[in-house]
Amino acid sequence: MSIKSLTPLEGRYGAITKPLGDYFSEWALIKYRIHVEVEWLIAMAGNPAFAEIRQFTSEETAFLRTIVQNFDEPAALRIKEIERTTNHDVKAVEYFLRETLGAMSLADVLEFIHFSCTSEDINNLSYALMLKHGIEAIWLPAAETLVQTVTAMAEEEKSIPMLAHTHGQAASPTTVGKELAVFVYRWNRQLKQIRSQEYLGKFNGAVGNFNAHSIAYPEVDWEAVSRSFVESLGLTYNPLTTQIESHDYVAESFHALTRFNNILLDFDRDMWLYVSLGYFKQKTIAGEVGSSTMPHKVNPIDFENSEANLGLSNAVLDHLANKLPISRLQRDLSDSSAQRNIGTGIAHSHIAITYTLKGLRKTVVNKEALAADLNHAWEVLSEAVQTVMRKHGHANSYDKLKAITRGKGISEEDIKAFIESVALPDTDKKRLLTLTPSQYIGVAASLVKHIK
């Protein structure tokens, strides 16, 4: 972290985003390129169809994979140094491997490094692995922790009554836990899609036709070789492409992440409003300051911080989802620069999740405030009364309740006096007379079961 960092991802939020550097940094991209190149070399050496490349000893195979396992900053900087001459980042990786293997027993196989490959064969597989591994290792565990935290809150608070608000106005009561469970249910649908996301890869040359491959080895079933190699990396094979893999799966992935983000944004704003209404209290932290001039302030800044980062994440992910699947003819280079920002979109989402979790750990339900609000909202029982009246055939039941409640406050005595004046069966009348706003929650508490 440097105080002169250009973006807050490496500066202010550097501690949060640091783990993502193993998957989305320039260093990570170079490492994944090395990984793909090495695995392709090993795959060819292990295939008898390529008679001109000998089989590797177990020690040689282990050494090749050690290049990836031990890849460090000096190695990456050496590749960047080579790139200053080649002005081509993937070719610099090839030359680095030639340099590394040239001094070893593998000097006789140098011509098979990057054999039949176009740069995009290496890049598309590298980016697919970066995205797959980064989401699975860093983003997904954070998202799951968030959902598990809210799940626990929903189950613990499923029976705590709360005045609902539609259009910002008092509405039929609900429970704290049920309202939290709504978000859990929505998040879980998105997580299911994110977990099952396919990450596609292609390995078919300059325009997707195995042109060079077939000239060099016309007898090889190149589609089978390509499929086997792509799937060996843990990716899904795409058999029909131009020079580039079409990036449709990237759009699918980012659209799912954006939907998750939007649900989180909705959650952040609701939590902010619940804090504003006093339904949740915020814990005070010793030494913290809420305002530089107002000593009493305890602000919901974590939810606000999350909201800001979600906007940035969505902006980047939405742009990439819309841009990457579009490429002129068999390829243009506009996807190259765009893809380098994949980590930016995911990082802002990761920061947002982190701050929402931080905000949740500082909030507790304010049962007293919830009860007080409900006790001053007897008008919400008008729905219950007019519905029971309709059941028993009373004409214009809605309008009668509207006349005494719409836009007005109404007391417990007022609503009970009205109920007493209506001809209703004793059982229903008694149920209405004993009903309070805090009891008028339907089956809210039992609905929380749907998040398990």
Report the distance separating Cα 193 and Cα 197, nearest Å.
6
Report the distance separating Cα 346 and Cα 317, nearest Å.
8
Mapped onto helix, strand or coil, the DSSP state of residue 190 is helix
CB-count burial class (<10 Å; 0-12, 13-18, 19+) for 150? buried
CB count in 10 Å sphere of residue 355: 23
Catalytic annotation present for 165: no
Give the tokens for residue 259: 């939907």
**What single DSSP character describes residue 172?**
E
Q: Which residues of 122-148 are buried (b: 16+ CB within 10 A; e: fewer)?
A: bbbbbbbbbbbbbbeebbeebbbebbe
- Catalytic residue, candidates 105, 291, 334, 411: 291
Report the distance separating Cα 350 and Cα 358, nearest Å.
12
**Closest listed residue to residue 37, CA positions, set 105, 109, 104:** 109
Report the distance separating Cα 66 and Cα 13, nearest Å.
32
In DSSP terms, 363 is beta-bridged to 282
Q: DSSP for 74-111?
A: HHHHHHHHHHHHHS-HHHHHHHHHHHHHHTSGGGGGGG
**Are 389 and 379 spatial neighbours (Cβ–Cβ below 8 Å)?**
no
Catalytic annotation present for 291: yes
Residues identified as active-site: 167, 291
